[in-house]
């Protein structure tokens, strides 16, 4: 067991054989924390130990792009087989109105687990307070497990779609998303729309909780990237998600979104001018909504085809107990073809 000094990090790295353990604690300066994270080698286990209660998230601006994303507080570039995890009740309390604490680029097989992350206050200023907790770009095989997000600003976990590079095979499981997000209400503030989770290709959200926020899971493909395919949202609970529970706006590149065995519940009154929709899809092919329970939503499943149209829509084996439409379909802008609706149970719903 040896102590390895790093000239560019001055962090504690314990090396045992081919393994590297990087320990980050609250008594370190911000620059030491940031460098310890950034310069950890591939294969490292990066451990946050303790309560980090006075951190600025680093990034400041109205949107995330390739030029300004480099100032993330904790940045991981071109790393493989890396574990980031919390110990001893590790939690983060961020201050400020905009930021990006974590960014992963060109990484593969990275596990992030056992962290609690929240903001001291939720920003309400549109177009200037955009921020993301975890932003990832051109990554493969990421796992987020048992991470709790509270009072976050825009996205909690975001597959970056500003560039044409894409990510795939991200799994998000046993995570909690509570009281966060800014919605692009009526398109007035184009840089502030945000869901708790924004997915890339072949991504899975499994056994997560979404509570008291505008949007849960969003699939939004950048034009021409071709990566927004084969996502799965399963065994999740959506409680009082007051705009969209799962939102698919992936244009013609969307293919094969599976929404299965989830529980969607909306109780009480939504904020003024909102119509709560559990599942909202406007484009793509191969949408499957099956085995879900919908309780109290004004619209449980809304399929409104955009100009690109939609095909292969299957809605089967669901239980609808809503305050309005169980299934609503609109071809005002584009056609919907290959529709299968069967074996659903409707209670107090208009089909």
Q: Given this model, what pLDDT does residue 43 score?
A: 95
Question: According to the model, what pLDDT value does residue 256 have?
Answer: 84
Residue 49 is predicted with a pLDDT of 94
DSSP 141-178: EEEEEEEEEES-SSEEEEE--SSS---B--EEES-EEE
DSSP single-letter state for residue 133: E
Q: Are 310 and 287 in contact (CB under 8 A)?
A: yes
Q: How far, in Å, CA of 11 to CA of 33, rounded?
A: 8
Burial classification of residue 15, based on how many CB atoms lie within 10 Å of its CB (0-12 exposed, 13-18 middle, 19 or more buried): middle
Contact 86, 117 (CB under 8 A): no
Model-wide pTM > 0.85:
yes
pLDDT tens by residue, the chain, 351 residues: 333 444 344 445 544 344 589 999 999 988 899 999 999 999 999 999 999 987 876 644 433 444 444 478 899 999 999 999 999 779 999 877 667 889 999 999 999 999 999 887 655 555 455 678 898 988 999 999 999 999 887 789 988 765 555 788 999 999 999 987 765 444 444 444 567 888 877 899 999 999 988 889 988 765 444 556 789 999 999 999 988 999 887 655 567 889 999 999 998 776 656 788 999 988 778 899 999 999 998 899 999 887 778 889 999 999 999 878 899 998 878 899 999 999 999 987 555
Question: What pLDDT shows up at residue 294?
Answer: 96
CA 266 – CA 1 distance, rounded (Å): 54
Q: State the pLDDT at residue 288.
A: 94
CA distances in angstroms from 183 to 124, 133, 297, listed in the order given: 10, 16, 18
């Amino acid at each position: 067991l040896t102590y390895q000094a790093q000239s560019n990090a001055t962090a504690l790295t314990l090396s045992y054989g081919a393994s590297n353990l990087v320990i980050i604690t609250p008594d370190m300066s911000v620059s030491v924390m940031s460098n310890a994270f950034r310069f950890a080698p591939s294969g490292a286990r990066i451990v946050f130990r303790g309560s980090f209660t006075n951190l600025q998230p680093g990034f400041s601006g109205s949107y995330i792009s390739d030029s300004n994303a480099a100032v993330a507080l904790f940045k991981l570039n071109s790393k493989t087989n890396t574990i980031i995890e919390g110990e001893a009740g590790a939690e983060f309390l961020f201050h400020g109105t905009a930021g990006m604490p974590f960014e992963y680029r060109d990484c593969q097989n990275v596990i992030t687990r056992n962290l609690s992350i929240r903001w001291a206050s939720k920003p309400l200023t549109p177009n200037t307070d955009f921020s993301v907790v975890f932003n990832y770009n051109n990554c493969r095989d990421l796992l987020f497990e048992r991470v709790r997000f509270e009072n976050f600003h825009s996205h909690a976990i975001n597959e970056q779609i500003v560039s044409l590079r894409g990510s795939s095979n991200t799994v998000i499981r046993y995570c909690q998303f509570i009281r966060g997000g800014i919605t692009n209400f009526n398109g007035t503030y184009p840089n502030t729309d945000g869901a708790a989770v924004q997915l890339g290709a072949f991504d899975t959200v499994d056994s997560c909780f979404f509570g008291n926020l505008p949007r849960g899971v969003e699939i939004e493909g950048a034009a021409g990237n071709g990566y927004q395919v084969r996502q799965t949202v399963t065994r999740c609970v959506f409680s009082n998600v007051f705009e969209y529970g799962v939102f698919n706006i992936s244009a013609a590149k969307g293919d094969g979104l599976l929404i299965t065995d989830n529980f969607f519940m909306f109780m009480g009154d939504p904020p003024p001018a909102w119509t709560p929709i559990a599942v909202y899809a406007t484009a793509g092919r191969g949408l499957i909504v099956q085995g879900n329970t919908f309780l109290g939503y004004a619209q449980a499943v809304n399929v409104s085809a955009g100009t690109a149209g939609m095909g292969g829509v299957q809605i089967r084996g669901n239980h609808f107990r809503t305050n309005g439409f169980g299934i609503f379909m609109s071809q005002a802008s584009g056609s919907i073809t290959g529709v299968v609706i069967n074996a659903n149970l409707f209670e107090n719903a208009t089909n």
